[in-house]
Amino acid sequence: MKRLLPLLITAPLLAEPGDTVYQKGFLSIEEAQKSIELQDGYALDLVLSNPDIHEPVAMAWDGNGALYVVEMRTYMQDADASGEQTPKSRISRHEDTTGDGIYNKHSIFIDNLLLPRAVLPLDDRIMVHITNTLDLWTYRDTDNDGVADEKIKVYEGGRRGGNMEHQPSGLIWNLDNWIYLTYENKRYRFTDGKLEVEQIPRGGGQWGIGMDDAGRNYYSAAGGEKPAFYFQQPIAYGALDLPGQEANGFREVFPIADVPDVQGGRRRVN
């Protein structure tokens, strides 16, 4: 029996570093599907694509199978980042109403956001984190029209400026019932309907956070090309750094282009 992998495709401009030009422009949806190699026994179906989504950076499903997609619609539209700080981004909502696995009902759940960074479905709400603030908000659709009409601040963290890559993202709800973000040395959980905050020894993860089936958090960062760290011990044990915690070659990358995508560019590989 073949296993089906859902596929969300947009048509981004592909700019590969290196001397070899692999393609000009971008692939069509059909070309992108043909370019993906699968192991035997797997199949690939297109379930959602542009124009129903545009410049997605994160996504999450709620308990009923509705998909929420974070769309950074103003991020680096040109080399000068023109209009980047304009609140024109959104979180869209997508449903499959026919049971065939293809999303056919689409709505703009939250519009006019400043570069949303993360989304986490809760009960009938979603929690959202946006750029330039540590505040956390929940949104709810009270009249079932697919558009949020209730907005509540559940955590006030204040302003957060600086490099966009160095701002928190994630909202990973782990097996320990705590919610984790990158960069923040805090974690969050709901207790009696209120968001509780607890300090943790350290935060990190410039480029992302994930978890495995055992509940271990994996952070990643571009600086120093760190694919995964802080997973060797539970966070309750503190901030431990031990000799030999990474095997030789652990940080080696295997790029499709001649020059790997590293922080610092060619200087890192010369």
| Residues 45 and 64 grouped into a single domain | no
The total of structural domains in the chain comes to 3
- Is the same domain home to 134 and 212? no
Residues 46 and 59 in one domain: no
Whether residue 113 is predicted with pLDDT greater than 60 in this model: the reply is: yes
Query: Has residue 191 been placed in a domain?
Result: no
Does the structure show a pLDDT above 50 at 24?
yes
Establish if 190 belongs to a structural domain: no
pLDDT at 240 over 90: no
127 and 148 share one domain: yes
Taking the model in full, what pTM does it have?
0.84
Query: Both 56 and 144 in a single domain?
Result: yes
Task: Answer yes or no: is pLDDT of 25 > 90.
Answer: no
Question: Which range in 74-88, 158-172, 206-220 is most confidently predicted, on average pLDDT?
Answer: 74-88
Residue 127 resides in a domain:
yes
Contact assessment for residue 36 and residue 45, using Cβ atoms and an 8 Å cutoff:
no
At 252, is the pLDDT very low, low, confident or very high (cuts 50, 70, 90)?
confident
Could you tell me if residue 3 is inside a domain? yes
Give residue 14's domain range: 1-50
250 and 240 belong to one structural domain: yes
State yes or no: pLDDT of 13 exceeds 80: no
**Mean pLDDT in residue range 64-88:** 95
Same domain, residue pair 83 and 29: no
66 & 127 share domain: yes
Same domain, yes or no: 120 and 163: yes
Q: Does the pLDDT value for residue 3 go beyond 60?
A: no
3-state secondary structure 94-163: EECCCCCCCCCEEEEEEEEECCEEEEEECCCEEEEEECCECCEEEEECCCCCCCCCEEEEEECCCECCCC
Condensed to tens digits (0 to 9), the pLDDT of residues 185-237 reads 899 999 998 999 999 888 888 888 999 999 999 998 877 778 888 888 888 78
